Amino acid sequence: MNREAAASSVEKLSHYIGGRRVPGASGRFGDVYDPAVGAVTKQVPLASADETASAIATAAEAFPEWSAQPPARRGRVMFAFRDLLMRNMDELAKLVSSEHGKTLEDAKGSITRGLEVVEYACGISELLKGAYSESVAGGVDSWSTRQPLGVCAGITPFNFPAMVPMWMFPLALVCGNTFVLKPSERDPSCPLRMAELLREAGLPDGVMNVVNGDKEAVDALLTDARVQAVSFVGSTAIGEYIYRTGTAHGKRVQALCGAKNHMVVMPDADIDQAADAVLGAAYGSAGERCMAVSVGVAVGDAPADALVEKLLPKLDALKVGAHTDEAAEMGPVINPAAKERIEGYIEKGVAEGAKLLRDGRGEQVKGFESGCFVGATVFDHVKTGMSIYTDEIFGPVLCVVRAGDYEEAINMVSSHEYGNGAAIFTRDGDAARDFAHRVQAGMVGVNVPIPVPLAFHSFGGWKRSLFGDHAIHGREGVHFYTKLKTVTTRWPSGIRSGAVFNFKAGGEH
């Protein structure tokens, strides 16, 4: 079957604008793979600038009425949406797994983490409470409030097609904004379905819109004056472009970007616990996580040898398979291009002199021989100048680095260009406290390998892992999607009169 015939046989997806599915009109489409079989199963329309502008116009038109709704009423929509997510969990997880490749349990777990942000957003009436100060001067009161921005946009990655959008739009919507989501074109079905569930939950048409696309759609969002704020999660190169372009056009931008997360294993660490931790943290979701542990820093040769000795049998027992296999613990990577890129890094690691202990190239799963599988890979004796150490591989590849002492280990972590997450495994409270205080990373775990904060805290890295002044979700998310207004009032009563032309000490004016 030629490409044209194959393309005509796959499902054609759509956009979601104004409360309904809208076919693409640009004539351009992107391929959506089922990574387990390595074949194209759907095609997604790639929006033109005009189509993107239409979604923005729809959101702008819906803003005045939606922003005028009481916060409690907006919160009730999130309550209903939360219930619909729970009832449709299996359907949503299948959509994620069939296009991303992660196991069903992993998909459900990621949806649950997004659900936590929805639950946080349900309390918007409390979150938007302002402050009031009586009698800041004679007969003068002052109070503050937070108001919505207008049309907001989200640009999200392929690795968490449900969770990451839910880091954005629930808070944006309950704060009174309208939203245009540009999900990854690699796995767009779950975001489209969530938009439909929002309408079912009572969200008015036009408040939430989904535009599928590539750079043309992204640039339209970044340059349109009606878009007030842009949230992004993805690679550093694209994130920096989005930050610089969006801010140059007067937008508020938060861009959460790449990572190279280190896990320091001290000589006194519980090695069994550390080995279990790194197994899940490095290879869960096939390593396609921005918080995946991709570097294990062992302080001393003895802890390094012990960690490797404990880890290798676990890798031998690791079950790699398709999402349809309930016993599978790790699925494929997103598509053939990702597989080729990850295997290229493994080849580089060998060429650069690292010791390859487990080689994931050529991983085969019975019945899925054409799937995009890369097996669990581990290098030992990795040096900091190697590309497998410096670059974000975004696959199931762990680098074990040996540090001579604690100071070398913490300096190694802190000197990397990324500062997303870092962890330390130790029984020493003093070392843990020092590490948490000094390490140059935005999220820190102590005997916790993936220190992703819950929804009522905020997620964000340092250095080239985050562009912008706000982290995502939690209180930071509320502040990102609102602007502060402070009102000072005085009501003339005849009790006190007379003009004042200067500021006086003590606040009298």
**CB within 8 A of 212, min separation 6: which ones?**
13, 14, 15, 24, 30, 44, 45, 46, 47, 182, 183, 185, 188
For the CA atoms of 56, 59, 60, 62, what is the dihedral angle to 10 degrees? 160
Both ends of the chain: CA-CA distance in Å? Answer: 81
Please give the angle made by the CA atoms of 199, 200 and 201, to the nearest 5 degrees.
Answer: 90
Type and span of the H or E element at 444:
strand 443-446
Catalytic: 290? Answer: yes
**CB within 8 A of 17, min separation 6: which ones?**
54, 55, 58, 206, 209, 210, 211
280 sits in the region (left: phi over 0; alpha: psi -120 to 50; else beta) called: alpha
Which entry of 175, 190, 257, 290 is annotated as an active-site residue? 290
Residues 198 and 103: beta-carbon distance below 8 Å: no
In a 13 Å sphere around the CA of 458, the CA atoms on its Cβ side amount to 21
Which residue type does 380 have? D
The whole-angstrom separation of Cα 35 and Cα 333 is 7
Residues 461 and 417: beta-carbon distance below 8 Å: no
φ and ψ of 355, to 5 deg: -90, 110
Residues 112 and 452: beta-carbon distance below 8 Å: no
Which residue type does 45 have? P
Per-residue exposure over 258-294, b if at least 16 CB sit within 10 Å of its own CB, e if not:
bbbbbbbbbbebebeebbebbbbbbbbbbbbbbbbbb
Instruction: Using CB atoms within 10 Å of the CB of residue 173, give its burial: 0 to 12 exposed, 13 to 18 middle, 19+ buried.
Output: buried
Active site residues: 290
